[in-house]
Structure 1
Amino acid sequence: MSARALDITRLGGQGDGIAETPEGQIFVPFTLPGDRITAAVDKGRGTLISLIEPSPDRVTPPCPHFGADSDEAGCGGCAMQHVADAAYRDWKRNLVVAALEGRGIMVEVGPLVACAPGARRRVVFAVRRTDKGSILGFNRASSHQIVPIDTCVVASERINQALPVLRRLATAVAVGKEAFRLSVLDTLSGFDLAVDAPFKLSEADRLRISASVRKETGVTRLSFNGEILIEIQPPQLVFGDVAVNPPPGGFVQASEAAETLMGELVTTHLKKSKRVLDLFSGSGTFALRLAQQSHVHAVESDGPSLAALDKAARRSSGLKPVSVEKRDLLRRPLMTAELKTYQGLVFDPPRAGAEVQVQDIARSTITRIAAVSCNPVTLARDLEILVKGGYKITSITPIDQFLWSSHIEVVALLERSKR
């Protein structure tokens, strides 16, 4: 490893600064275009040592845990807090532009819609038991080291205020020395905590952990590897106007503000569709909103999420009919013949996208489609299939619910071209 002076000329897709050298590109975290730096370089990766001349777009990070200059050498939860807002927004929007252009899709991408700091209602912490107690925080980038935190500028105020409670409960759970994940969902009825761990609990552990939860305020449920250990009352979210009790560890959009915007985009686009399909529906983020105006058929592979959607629809008045189907769309997609009775469709697949399913959608007669994705690269691939099948993209909206990270949500709206 050698130390050398570098000029950073652009940002990479993960937020690292890139220096162009005769030996090739060098990627350096916590840098940005316009920085002249000294870095320790090893095999195309650099570690920032010092700033010789800072970029005019460099700003002071709002979080004490961020970056190479922090006492903890960066918690790894954020990558871009050192970048001025305008430059950051351009970079993030361009992640979507570049993914689309890479597939030959030349359409106007809308301005980035940014979520405010403190908007995250869902946070996943890393926890490890040590001889001095448990550490609760985030993994350093490209490392298994857990950096303890006492504040998080992207998490909700309630989650920040509850960090001492979360730390105590994480300590109660940490019976093994292996690291584990603690997912925290801030719901209307309290915190829904889901532990994903590589170790097992004894019956005595279960009783002790449940007793620990009862001693704390604000926690509504704690589950361990999908098993509910204690539920004081069901966690509750509202999708549109419909109350939903999500299952332990079930998928939920990270930001309520981002979810609301996505819901508005999807429901407005599909407003004239009498019958609508919601593919990869989860617990009903879109289905329950759409049911206020259309008959909805929701398809999802996760049984507990689908059951939560079905229960919410059945106990809510004023909705159009909602039907549900448990089906793995990645292995058994809906065929073109099964799509013929629907006029509208929304799909929100995992990061890998929905390539096989989209091939059948592209051959369908569905008039309007809303495509939602957290991965611009796989979204661009799926959109290319739909465009070749006769669909026209009417809008692309990038939504920054994963503030200061390299992740971004996108809503693409399409209409079938008249034949």
Structure 2
Amino acid sequence: MTTYLIERLGQHGDGIATGPIYARGALPGETVTGDLDGDRLRNIRIVTPSEDRVKPPCSHAKSCGGCQLQHVSDRFASEWKRDVVRHALAGQGISIDLDAPVTSAPQSRRRATFSVRRTKKGALAGFHMKASDTIISVPHCQLVHPDLTAALPMVETLGVLGASRKGELSVLVTRSELGLDIAVTGGKDMDLTLHQALSDLARAYDLARISWDGEIVLQRRSPVVRLGKAEVTPPPGAFLQATKEGESALVQSVKQALPRPKAVVDLFSGCGTFALPMAEFAPVHAVEGDRDMVNSLDHAWRNTEGLKRITHEARDLFRNPLIPNELNRFDSAIIDPPRAGAAAQIAELAKSTVSQIAHVSCHPTTFARDTATLLRAGYDLEWVTVVDQFRWSTHVEVAALLRRNK
């Protein structure tokens, strides 16, 4: 039987041999055998295991598709994620020293989207199997907070109440300061009977809020999250950092990048992850495409003492970025775009007089591309921090300081 030497780990967590040939679950330095199917190995057997191979801490690891890196040591995962950022920057001709990532603890994810299907006896809730539409139950998940795994019976009840026979519900469960916030998509049309059933469910499980396809159907308490001094009630399904530890690491990086700002513009501000903490030190202008998130930020600011003024606008920064005349009112900028990056807005920042930029990103490749644009425009990359709040996944985030050279 042909053996293959795994040379490196790909961006999706697969081992890669010469070819390239992809081997799911294999690690660099390992010798493996398997059945070649196109460019992928099936029925893989590890002949010579890596010293960095460990027993997955989660009993669901072999079947669940939620984590890609539970079979690797923490040391390997940390170094690999640092290399992902290093290689992305090198692809743009950028070289900089990187410290080890700040990694979130097990069972610290405060939000997760569970899939639910009706069954003959009720419903099944959990995550999809690897590369499959099949749902598996994950009662012993080591990734999400215990409050979320404890909510799985409630999620299955939601499936019984609101899923069609053939459809699949998507249930986003978020742990707020005052209870679980539930956002359901893909369910039946709302009617009086379903609404009453959801009211009973919310009381039985002491839920803070339930929304159905983007509409709040009941709210027993505001599902607030704390951002700096402020308490924010995000709109249903709104973006929120996955862990408190990850959020804290990113916020601290932004504060480190902008220690004495005079006026800050926060681009892609969301509900105020950075705008609200930074308003403790300087006035902030927050710009976000989603009007409901802007409204949540504004309400939090108006109801929190000790903050400088936060102005805001709902604006599509992909189609209508702030131009230099607008940006030049600020000495400091924060930009935290989606995975696609922010090429249009970065191009305008590059032409501005903004002196320092805290650049946060959830995608190293687009981060490197956008950073290269700023470097060509006369900014210097002072430092980059790697943040791993999606433990055991291939996902990695960064925060950086760019300062316009004199």
C-alpha deviations, 1:325-376, integer Å up to 9, x for none?
Answer: 0100011000111111100000111110100000000011101101111110
TM-score of the superposition, structure 1-length normalised?
Answer: 0.94
TM-score of the superposition, structure 2-length normalised?
Answer: 0.97
Structure 2 residue aligned with 1:28, among 23, 30, 45? 23
Distance in 1 (CA, whole Å) between partners of 2:249 and 2:365 is 22
Is residue 8–residue 34 contact of structure 1 (8 Å, CA) maintained in 2? yes
Distance in 2 (CA, whole Å) between partners of 1:199 and 1:165 is 17
Is residue 76–residue 140 contact of structure 1 (8 Å, CA) maintained in 2? yes
Greater displacement, 173-182 / 227-236:
173-182
Aligned length: 406
Matched, 1:241 2:229: yes
| Unaligned 5+ runs, structure 1 | 68-73
Structure 2 residue aligned with 1:362, among 322, 347, 350? 350
Matched, 1:14 2:12: yes
Matched, 1:80 2:62: no
Deviation at 1:268, TM superposition (A): 2.7
In structure 2, what residue type is equivalent to 1:59? V
Task: Summarize the Cα distance change of 1:111–1:338 in structure 2 as closer, same or farther, 3 Å threshold.
Answer: same
Greater displacement, 160-169 / 272-281:
160-169
> Where does residue 147 of structure 2 map in the other structure?
158
C-alpha deviations, 1:74-97, integer Å up to 9, x for none?
Answer: 210000110112111111111111
Is residue 122–residue 156 contact of structure 2 (8 Å, CA) maintained in 1? no
Deviation at 1:323, TM superposition (A): 0.5
Is residue 4–residue 41 contact of structure 1 (8 Å, CA) maintained in 2? no
Is residue 253–residue 400 contact of structure 2 (8 Å, CA) maintained in 1? no
C-alpha deviations, 1:256-280, integer Å up to 9, x for none?
Answer: 1111111111123212211100011
> Where does residue 70 of structure 1 map in the other structure?
none
Deviation at 1:212, TM superposition (A): 1.9
Query: Partner of 1:126: helix, strand, or coil?
Result: strand
Query: Partner of 1:412: helix, strand, or coil?
Result: strand
Matched, 1:47 2:31: no
Distance in 1 (CA, whole Å) between partners of 2:400 and 2:130 is 30
Task: Summarize the Cα distance change of 1:208–1:27 in structure 2 as closer, same or farther, 3 Å threshold.
Answer: same
Equivalent pairs: percent with the same residue? 41
Is residue 383–residue 401 contact of structure 2 (8 Å, CA) maintained in 1? yes
Matched, 1:399 2:387: yes
Task: Summarize the Cα distance change of 1:118–1:295 in structure 2 as closer, same or farther, 3 Å threshold.
Answer: same
| Unaligned 5+ runs, structure 2 | none
Distance in 1 (CA, whole Å) between partners of 2:40 and 2:191 is 44
Matches within 5 A, 1:154-233: 154-197=143-186, 199-217=188-206, 219-233=207-221
Is residue 126–residue 152 contact of structure 2 (8 Å, CA) maintained in 1? no
> Where does residue 396 of structure 2 map in the other structure?
408
Deviation at 1:48, TM superposition (A): 3.8
Deviation at 1:66, TM superposition (A): 0.6
- State the superposition RMSD in angstroms: 1.5
Task: Summarize the Cα distance change of 1:48–1:207 in structure 2 as closer, same or farther, 3 Å threshold.
Answer: same
Distance in 1 (CA, whole Å) between partners of 2:228 and 2:42 is 46
